Amino acid sequence: MSDASLPPAPSRFRRLRQTPLRDLLRGRLSGRLDWRGRIDSSTLSPLIKNLLRRVVKSTRLWKLERYDVAGEFISHFVDGLSAGETEQTLLQHFGDERRTAKLVRRAKIRIQRRRRPCRRRRGSADEEWDRRQRVGRRVGTRGAKAPKGDWVLFPEPRDVNEN
């Protein structure tokens, strides 16, 4: 293979930008978050690379998870091409981009939920309820959700004997 067909090596600045902080603190310049570089450095055709970029980006996962997903997709297409399938056949069997991205995101979040339950559910209704309850307890009130979605604060019950 000639040097002209190889993609250029990533610059130090790009590797620095794509390295997690924990790797930098350990003195490593890994560039582990560069999922686009992983797709670009593959031996696939530009048509497949563009499809993979669109699908991986639309999963809306974290960068490290995108890196894993990109590797899985690359190996999927490389295996198909080595089995003798054509590009067009693989692209037709791949299916709808948006649906694939949605299914991959759902599967990844389901797998990661056991490892990082708090960070994945940030912004959920349960967390909002808990946050409002904690704030309400600090000021001596308790919150309840009204039918229209507004919050109503009630005084927290106190003992009659307290002054």
- Taking only the tens of pLDDT, the chain with its 163 residues reads 455 555 667 788 888 888 888 888 888 888 888 899 899 999 999 999 999 999 999 999 988 899 999 999 999 999 999 999 999 999 999 989 999 999 999 888 888 766 655 554 455 555 555 665 555 554 444 455 555 555 555 555 556 565 5
Domain boundary assignment for the chain: 34-120, 125-155
Q: How many alpha carbons lie under 13 Å from residue 123 in its C-beta half-sphere? A: 1
Global model pTM greater than 0.75: no
Cβ neighbours, 10 Å, residue 132:
17
